[in-house]
Amino acid sequence: MLLAFGILHLALTHATRRHHRSHDVTNYIYIEGPVDVVLHWASPASPIDYLELPIPTLKVGALGTHKALGLAKAKGARFVLASTSEVYGDPLEHPQKETYWGNVNPIGPRGVYDEAKRFAEAITTAYHRYHGLDTKIVRIFNTYGPRMRLNDGRAVPAFMSQALRGEDVTIFGSGKQTRSFTYITDLVEGVIRLMESKVNDPVNIGNPHEMTIEEIARTIIRMSGSKSKLVYRPLPVDDPKVRQPDITRARTLLSWEPKVGLEEGLTKTLDYFRRKVDVADRA
C-alpha cells in the first residue's frame, strides 16, 4: 500500500483498488493492513497560502510530520518527505548544495513555511538515526506544469494568467532576482528515483538552469502572443534574491537530471492555462 498525504487528504492505493479519505494529518493516523511507503506532501506551498494560514502551515510541518513518521515507523515503511529549496532561505551560497545550512529569518513572514520544513527535515532525520527508519528528503525547487491554479500566486501561473488575459504582468522587485524552473514530470521522476534508492541524506531536485524573474515573464509573454506590459511592485519581505540547485548529488546517486526544456514545458503549461482562463472567463 502506498500512502500520500495532502493537507487534509489521505489517498490510499492497494492493488487495483483506490480509496480516498479525508484526514487531518496533524492528528493520529491509523491505517489497517501493510504499508510500503508513506509520502508526506502536506503543506501549503504558495506564499499566498502560507501567509494566510501561518499556524496551520507550522502545525502540518511539525505535528503532521510527526504523525506521518509515526505511521511509517509502526508499519516499517519507507518515508518520503517533500521538503523545499526554501530551507536555504535567502542564500549566501550560490548555487545551493545540500550541505548548505541556509540563511533563514525565523520570525519573518516567510519563516512559517521555511522553519516548518526545516523542523520537518530535523525530525525526519532524527527518526532515521534513532529508530532506523528508511527516510528520504527531497528538496524541491520551483516546479511548474499543468493543473496549477490560476490564482496560485507563484511566478509561472501568475504570469500566464495575466498574459493570457492581456493584463499587466506583475514583477515584484527589480525582476533581477533569479529562479530555476523544473517541469513537473522531471520532478516526479526524481522523487521516484529517490524513493526507490538507498539514499537517506537530503537531495536537491530542481533544474540548474537559472534565469531572472524578468526573463521568465518576458518569455511567457512572447510565447503566449500577449501584448501585456511589465509592471513593477515592491519586493516582499525576505524574498530570496537567488535560487539555483546544485544537483551533483542527484546526478551521482540517482542518475537523475531534468530532461524537459523550458520552452517545451511552458508550451504544455500554456495550453492548459489557455483552457482554464477560457473556462473561468466564461463562467
For residue 133 the three cell numbers come to 527508519
* Strand partners of residue 37: 2, 78
Residue numbers annotated as active site: 113
Give the β-pairing of 210-212 and 178-180. antiparallel
Torsion angles phi and psi, residue 182, rounded to 5: -110, 130
Could you give the 3-state DSSP secondary structure of residue 206? coil
> Which grid cell is 58?
507550522
b/e for 23-43, b at 16 or more Cβ within 10 A? bbbbeebebeeebebbbbbbb
Residue with cell 513537473: 184
